[in-house]
Amino acid sequence: MTTIKIWKHFPREDLYECYQCARCTGSCPAMQVAPAIGPRGAILKCLNLGHDEVVEDEKIWLCCTCNVCEDRCPQKIPISDLLVALRNSAARRGNIPSRLGVAIELLAKTGRSMIVHQLDEMRAHHGLAPLPPAPVEEVRKILKKTGLEEVVEI
């Protein structure tokens, strides 16, 4: 099993700077649309359970990396970096939500993460030219270099 050393990518000591005021969570858009893990919760769980437990929780994938939590944090803790580091660790262990796996597979095959039917017609309706072909080979090189090709069966 390949793992990523999360504390190389996020300063662990920053977790101890959090005084659990919940200002971050109160502004988190992910918390408003779904029972996400939340920025304050992510820190608390890492401290109490260890990150190995947290990366098993699919709710870490609901963060949209908007950075609002970090901007509002009085301690300036880089919380969205923590969520990204947790997801990287989860991905290396193969813990990727199936809907994301499908998007990555599509990306590798078509150079785009979703198929929009009648896209050219829609663009033409707005007076826009068709999109240029997606750079599939370039995308595949990126997937290979980032290790995603190994994580998701392509």
Site residues (CB under 6 A) for ligand SF4? 18-24, 28-30, 39-40, 43, 63-69, 73-75, 77, 79-80, 83
What are the residue ranges of helices labelled H in the chain?
6-9, 23-26, 29-33, 39-49, 51-54, 68-72, 79-92, 98-110, 119-125, 136-145, 148-151
Q: How far is the CB of 86 from ligand SF4 (least distance, A)?
A: 11
Beta carbon nearer to ligand SF4, 22 or 103: 22
- How far out from the chain centre does Cα 31 lie? 15
- CA triplet 87, 88, 93: central angle to 5 degrees? 95
CA pair distance 52, 94, nearest whole angstrom: 13
Write down the least CB distance from residue 84 to ligand SF4, Å.
Answer: 9
**Closer residue to ligand SF4 in complex, CB, 40/92:** 40
Residue 85 and residue 72: Cα distance in Å, rounded?
20
User: Which is nearer to ligand SF4, 6 or 77 (by Cβ)?
Assistant: 77
CB of 90 to ligand SF4, least distance (A): 15
Which CB atom, from 14 or from 149, has the smaller least distance to ligand SF4? 14
> Of 95, 131, 90, 88, nearest to 112 (Cα)?
131
Nearer to ligand SF4, 41 or 107 (CB): 41
Tokens, residue 40: 């304050």
Min. distance of Cβ 105 from ligand SF4 in angstroms?
A: 25
* Smallest separation, CB 21 to ligand SF4 (Å): 4
